[in-house]
């Protein structure tokens, strides 16, 4: 079996995908039209040309503008459904999907509208494709602690539908410590917790996410390598890093895929996983990310299998389900 065939055959879990970042320009145009919302582009081609980023903020500005056309429950359903169709093509059998409620509630869209649309797509994906999913609600770290607390309160009635909380948006200048009290409350309420750290921000932010937010996983975390003591801690605690190779390339976190540290992290024993982050904006879904690192770093079949195993091991599914997927991965010749 070639590396490409193996990538396609492996069952995989996606643990770091922002549903608003799966918004393909074609769907954005269709939804904008039916909601009669003007977007600053004349064509799908023009949208794609605008996707030329030099850092995280230059991406976020365009990403939040795109989300503005989402108004109705059906819009959120269509967005998530399009992503599940990609999952089915890529053999992503489980996904833990981020959504940014504040991006929508700040525009007057009800929390309920967002969650109902996403949940219905999750239910249909289970029924039609057998894909399981969890929802993770992210706080926008460029907004205040108070706004995050308000969002947490809005989420409580939907506690059964939201497995955890996360932290995303502009990293530098908004350290995890800003949300220590919010995350304590979230954990107390029974949410699992994750946080973006060490994407553009320093290794110090990863320490804060571990020590102050007490996260179950680190999203990105690629800058952890700059701190050998932190590396030892991540390895000893089997702390997962949800790495997003094409995202890192597009946002200039790395200059060249051949310089990406995912293989080194894996070889040192860090529990790294492969993810797409915002696939519509960064040029590819799960398998595109696997292919990009395999081509650039010459990954072996054993390493590809380890990455797929890690994705389930680091997920929030049950021990029995982890066992089942691990057995299937090991059995692939």
User: Residue positions in the annotated binding site for substrate?
Assistant: 278
Within 13 Å and on the Cβ side, how many CA atoms surround 311? 29
Contact between residue 240 and residue 314 where contact means Cβ atoms under 8 Å apart: yes
Q: 122-128 contacts: CB < 8 A, separation 24 or more?
A: 122/80, 122/97, 124/81, 124/84, 125/80, 125/81, 125/84, 125/87
User: What is the nearest approach in angstroms of ligand ADE to the Cβ of residue 63?
Assistant: 6
Residue with tokens 């494709």: 129
Is residue 303 part of the annotated active site? The answer reads no
Q: Which residue positions form the known binding site?
A: 16, 18, 196, 277-278
199 touches, from ligand ADE, Zn ion, none (C-beta below 5 to 8 Å by class): ligand ADE
The answer to whether residue 100 forms part of the interface with Zn ion (CB under 5 A) is no
CB of 205 vs Zn ion, minimal distance in Å: 14
Which one of the spans 56-64, 80-88, 123-131, 277-285 is the region binding Zn ion (CB under 5 A)?
277-285
Catalytic entry in 171, 199, 200, 208: 199
Q: How many helical (H) and strand (E) elements, i.e. helices and strands, does the chain have?
A: 17, 8
Residue showing the smallest CB distance to ligand ADE in the complex = 168
Residue closer to Zn ion (CB basis): 16 or 178: 16
Q: Which is nearer to ligand ADE, 142 or 305 (CB)?
A: 142
> Could you tell me if 34 and 72 are in contact, meaning their C-beta atoms sit under 8 angstroms apart?
no
Binding of residue 200 to Zn ion (CB under 5 A): no
- Which residues are annotated as part of the binding site for Zn(2+)? 16, 18, 196, 277
**Closest distance of CB 278 from Zn ion, Å:** 7
Q: How far is the CB of 18 from ligand ADE (least distance, A)?
A: 4
Residue closer to ligand ADE (CB basis): 59 or 290 = 59
With contacts defined by CB under 5 A, how many residues of the chain interact with Zn ion?
Answer: 1
**At 220, which helix (H) or strand (E)?**
strand 217-220
Q: Using the rule CB under 5 A, is 277 a contact of Zn ion?
A: yes
Choose between 56 and 70: whose C-beta lies nearer to ligand ADE. 56
- Exposed / middle / buried, residue 321 (Cβ in 10 Å: 0-12, 13-18, 19+): middle
Q: Taking a C-beta distance cutoff of 8 angstroms, is the pair 301, 6 a contact?
A: yes
Strand, helix or coil at 138? strand
Q: Which residues bind ligand ADE (CB under 6 A)?
A: 18, 21, 56, 63, 168-169, 196, 199, 247, 277-278
Residue closer to ligand ADE (CB basis): 21 or 284: 21
How far apart are the C-alpha atoms of 261 and 331, rounded to whole Å? 28
Can you read off the two tokens belonging to residue 120? 């219905």
Interacting partner of 14 out of Zn ion, ligand ADE, none (Cβ under 5 to 8 A depending on kind): none
20 binds Zn ion per the rule CB under 5 A: no
Q: Which stretch binds Zn ion (CB under 5 A): 124-132, 139-147, 276-284, 295-303?
A: 276-284
Contact 304, 7 (CB under 8 A): yes
Distance CA 212, CA 193 (A): 11
Task: Decide if residue 73 touches Zn ion (CB under 5 A).
Answer: no
Q: Among all chains, which residue has been given the structure tokens 């907004």?
A: 143
Residues of this chain that interact with Zn ion (CB under 5 A) are: 277
Catalytic amino acids?
A: 199
């Amino acid at each position: 079996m070639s590396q490409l065939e193996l990538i396609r055959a492996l069952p995989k879990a996606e643990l770091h995908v922002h549903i608003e970042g799966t918004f393909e320009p074609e769907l954005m145009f269709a939804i904008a039209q039916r909601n009669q919302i003007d977007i600053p582009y004349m064509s799908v081609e023009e949208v794609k040309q605008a996707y030329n980023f030099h850092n995280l903020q230059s991406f976020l500005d365009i990403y939040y503008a795109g989300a503005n056309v989402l108004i109705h429950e059906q819009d959120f359903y269509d967005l998530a459904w399009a992503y599940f169709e990609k999952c089915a093509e890529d053999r992503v059998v489980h996904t833990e999907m981020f959504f940014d409620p504040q991006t929508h509630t700040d525009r007057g869209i009800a929390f309920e509208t967002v969650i109902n649309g996403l949940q219905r797509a999750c239910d249909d994906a289970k029924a039609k494709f057998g894909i399981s999913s969890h929802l993770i609600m992210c706080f926008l770290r460029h907004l205040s602690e108070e706004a995050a607390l308000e969002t947490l309160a809005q989420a409580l009635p939907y506690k059964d539908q939201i497995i955890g909380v996360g932290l995303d948006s502009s990293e530098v200048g908004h350290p995890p410590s800003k949300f220590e009290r919010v995350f304590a409350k979230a954990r107390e309420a029974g949410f699992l917790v994750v946080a973006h750290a060490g994407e553009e921000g320093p290794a110090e932010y990863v320490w804060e996410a571990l020590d102050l937010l007490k996260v179950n996983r680190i999203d990105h975390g690629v800058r952890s390598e700059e701190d050998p003591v932190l590396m030892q801690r991540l390895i000893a605690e089997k702390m997962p890093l949800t790495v997003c190779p094409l995202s890192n390339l597009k946002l200039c976190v790395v200059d060249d895929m051949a310089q990406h540290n995912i293989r080194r992290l894996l070889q040192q024993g860090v529990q790294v996983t492969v993810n797409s982050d915002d696939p519509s904006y960064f040029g590819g879904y799960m398998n595109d990310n696997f292919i990009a690192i395999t081509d650039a770093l010459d990954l072996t079949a054993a390493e590809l299998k380890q990455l797929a195993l890690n994705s389930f091991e680091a997920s929030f599914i049950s021990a029995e389900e982890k066992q089942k997927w691990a057995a299937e991965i090991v059995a692939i010749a």
